[in-house]
């Protein structure tokens, strides 16, 4: 099942730089692992913001929820999720 997910990161201004750097490194490593596994299908930065738009390909709501909660930056994110389904006018066979 495909999901469109927007993640806006809001680190507290009082967070020590070392902790922020560690969380960002952990986040990057996990994001790359999930991309390699095919669960995090697309990842785009939103220009000028500490935010991204992503497409996840997971079994369902519970798997997506667990995956998002496992992200190191999760406590500092506002997340908006939209489930997706194939549009009947799409000419792409691989957008399931």
Domains of the chain: which residue ranges? 2-84
Length of the chain: 96
Percentage, residues of the chain above pLDDT 90: 88
- Per-residue pLDDT of 51-88, as tens digits, reads 999 999 999 999 999 999 999 999 999 999 999 988 88
Q: What is the rounded distance in angstroms from the CA atom of residue 78 to the CA atom of residue 15?
A: 17
| Mean pLDDT (the chain, rounded) | 96
Out of 3.40.920.10, 1.10.15.40, 2.160.20.70, 3.30.70.1060, the CATH code matching 2-84 is: 3.30.70.1060
What's the confidence (pLDDT) of residue 96? Answer: 64
Q: Which of 80, 71, 70, 73 is nearest to 15 (CA)?
A: 73
What's the confidence (pLDDT) of residue 95? Answer: 67
Q: Which residues contact 77 (CB under 8 A, 6 or more apart)?
A: 7, 8, 9, 10, 71
What's the confidence (pLDDT) of residue 87? Answer: 86
Q: Is the pLDDT of residue 4 over 80?
A: yes
Taking residues 7-35, what's their average pLDDT?
A: 98
Going by the DSSP 8-state scheme, the letter that residue 37 receives in this structure is T
pTM of full prediction above 0.85: yes
């Amino acid at each position: 099942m495909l999901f469109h997910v927007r993640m806006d990161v809001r680190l507290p201004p009082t967070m020590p730089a070392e902790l922020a750097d560690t969380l960002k490194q952990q986040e990057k490593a996990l994001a790359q692992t999930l991309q390699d596994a095919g669960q995090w299908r697309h990842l785009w930065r939103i220009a000028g913001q500490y935010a991204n738009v992503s497409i996840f390909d997971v079994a369902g709501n519970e798997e997506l929820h667990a995956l998002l909660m496992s992200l190191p930056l999760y406590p500092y994110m506002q997340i908006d999720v939209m489930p997706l389904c194939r549009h009947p006018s799409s000419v792409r066979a691989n957008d399931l």
